[in-house]
Structure 1
Amino acid sequence: MQDPNISIRPEGFQRVSAALRDRQHGHAPLWLEVAARTSQEAADALGVSLGQIAKSVVFRRKVDEQAVLVIASGDRRVDEKKLKELTGPLGRADADYVKARTGFSIGGVSPLGFAPTGDAAPPLLFIDRELFRFELIWAAAGHPNGVFRMRPDELVQLTGAPVIDVVQA
Structure 2
Amino acid sequence: MSKAETPLELSEEQWLHINETITMLTLAVAQIEASILESEKSFGRLTQSFTTIVETVNAAPDPSTQAHELRLQLDGLKKDVHNAVVDFQFFDRLAQRLCHVKESLGELGGLLQARERLDKPEEWKNLQQELKGRYTMACEREMFDMILNGVAIETALAHFKANYLDEMAKQNEDDGDIDLF
- TM-score w.r.t. length of structure 1: 0.23
Q: Which structure has more strand as a fraction of its residues?
A: 1
Q: Which structure has more helix as a fraction of its residues?
A: 2
- TM-score w.r.t. length of structure 2: 0.22
